[in-house]
Amino acid sequence: MMEIKIEVRRMEKLSSEQHLARLRDGRIESLRTSSIHLDMLRDLKRINAHIVSVAYPIMEEAGLLSDSRVVSA
């Protein structure tokens, strides 16, 4: 679970950096769609948070969590 969370954060950061680079380059299509791009990133981050909040209680009940992290296999 933690690996997925880290990967989502990495992809979000990369996407934001690439988008900002396109904005700095003055690409018209990026300027026109900037709010959509940023809204989608925010929404995907929120969806990921909801999935994690549902998964943790299930994993805890199944005994797959230690006090602070996922139990190693």
- Integer Cα distance of 60 and 72 in angstroms: 13
- Integer Cα distance of 51 and 65 in angstroms: 16
Sorted by sequence, the CB contacts under 8 Å of residue 11 that are 6+ apart come out as none
- Condensed to tens digits (0 to 9), the pLDDT of residues 27-60 reads 999 999 999 999 999 999 899 889 988 988 998 8
- Integer Cα distance of 71 and 12 in angstroms: 26
% of the chain exceeding 70 in pLDDT: 89
Tokens of 49: 């948070």
Whether pTM > 0.75 for this model: the answer is no
**pLDDT for residue 73:** 56
